[in-house]
Amino acid sequence: MHDARALLELGADAVRRLARRGYQLDLSALDDLLSRRNKSIQRVDELRSESKRVASEVQRLARQGGETAALKDRARQIKDETRALETEQEHLAAQLRDVLLNVPNLPLDAAPDGDSDADAVEVRRRGTPPSFGFEPKDHVDLGEALGILDFAHATKLSGPRFSIARGAGAALERGLAALMLDLHTRQHGYVEFSMPLLVTPETMTGTGQLPKFAEDLFRTGTANRDLYLIPTAEVPLTNLHAGEILDAGSLPRAYTAHTQCFRSEAGSYGRDTRGLIRLHQFGKVELVRLCDPERSQAELELMVGHAEACLAALDLPYRVVTLAAGDMGFSAQLTYDLEVWLPGQDRYREISSCSDCGTYQARRAGIRMRGKDGRKGLVATLNGSGLPIGRTLAAVLENHQQVDGSIALPAALAPYVGFRTIRPDGTTE
């Protein structure tokens, strides 16, 4: 969330930057709303001061036996006017908050122009897509032929966009999560958490999922308790310190968690309906970092490297791209996507987004830091996938498939699953 005064101070530059991501900021309307709220606050303060003076004068006259009726009438008028202004002030404050909650983060100039994945700018490539002496299959055909993925029964149980992993497939899901968590905790210095999957509306608001993307969320709860299923562990991990003041000396903080994630995919009907690419429920290892805002871009580069390490360990070809300003997530000011090569689609597909959110989420969630000089300021928050289990499983199956339909697993994964090969009949060795 933005500070309204900061947006107004930026003026035309704020308008320009937000226009790059398709948002039209009405500065005059924002200025008017802020001015009316501030005038209301000022007038209430004036009335409270007058109320104290009138009360003091009433007491003085009463002691002297003087006439106090007119002053008491004025005191009642002040009270009524104050109540009315306080109601107006609350209404204006709510209006201002609603406006600001729906303004996306300001993109950095480092983000290229554009509003789709076609406008992303490639930064680097790692690994070479495999050359098969046969027509490679996609992960759906491979998984179903091996008997390790079952989409038909998942649809029977829950409807479309769900999956079931069986036997070696379930072992691969478990093993991939363990490998990623080991990399991030033992080599990259992240602290692992086991997080709730249900969170409050306030928690969702802190990271920017609400109010803008309510239709993309699964909502549950009871008559007296409103809860949401998390779309990513970024939500609870970032909000761990909502409303807190952190010692600047304790930064950066690096957190990771493996959770199930739940997304309605409201805006993606007809897209990626086949396989593991876009599901309503999926496992993911998430990375979150909290740091001094001056270090956020350096921390982003570090986080991207941590996500890349997972792909490198699994011998998966990938590329890194900088997302266009109009294609970034709502809370991001700069985002790198990691795209893995999928032979079954003959193209690179997004497998991780790593975003620098600057102080945008910290302002919404009230996450501050205190420096050695005692001054308080907002922290910067960053998040990234490190990595989603389903998409990574799809990439492993497709890139390591053999001519006979078997899968030769990368060496780093074998210790986590207890086998090196999935035979054509689904058995392992």
Q: Two tokens at 194?
A: 């086991």
Active site residue 347: no
Single out the catalytic residue among 50, 86, 88, 350. 350
Q: Looking at residue 268, what is its pLDDT? A: 62
Q: Would strands 380-388 and 347-356 be described as parallel, antiparallel, or unpaired?
A: antiparallel
Domains and their CATH numbers in the chain: 4-101 (1.10.287.40), 117-422 (3.30.930.10)
How many Cβ atoms sit within 10 Å of the Cβ of residue 379? 28
Q: Two tokens at 289?
A: 């970092």
Q: Looking at residue 269, what is its pLDDT? A: 61
Q: Give pLDDT tens digits along the chain (429 positions).
A: 899 999 999 999 999 999 999 999 999 999 999 999 999 999 999 999 999 999 898 888 888 888 888 988 999 999 999 999 999 999 999 999 999 999 999 999 999 999 999 999 999 999 999 999 999 999 999 999 999 999 999 999 999 999 999 999 999 999 999 999 999 999 999 999 999 999 999 999 999 999 999 999 999 977 789 999 999 999 999 999 999 999 999 999 999 999 999 999 876 666 677 899 999 999 999 999 999 999 999 999 999 999 999 999 999 999 999 999 999 999 999 999 999 999 999 999 999 999 999 999 999 999 999 998 999 999 999 999 999 999 999 999 999 999 999 999 999 999 999 999 999 999 999
Single out the catalytic residue among 37, 299, 391, 398. 391
Active site residue 350: yes
Whole-structure pTM over 0.75, yes or no?
A: yes
Number of C-alpha atoms within 13 angstroms, CB side, residue 17?
Answer: 18
Single out the catalytic residue among 278, 319, 420, 423. 278
Active site residue 278: yes
Single out the catalytic residue among 40, 296, 331, 353. 353
Distance CA(294)–CA(97), nearest Å, equals 27
Active site residue 263: yes
How many Cβ atoms sit within 10 Å of the Cβ of residue 228? 22
Task: Tell me if 349 sits within 8 A of 342, measured CB to CB.
Answer: yes
Integer CA distances (angstroms), 221 to 128, 149, 239, 262, 266, in order: 48, 32, 20, 15, 20
Distance CA(428)–CA(165), nearest Å, equals 15
Residue from 424, 390, 396, 426 nearest 409 by CA: 396
Residue from 357, 355, 342, 362 nearest 386 by CA: 355
Single out the catalytic residue among 21, 37, 161, 263. 263
Active site residue 60: no
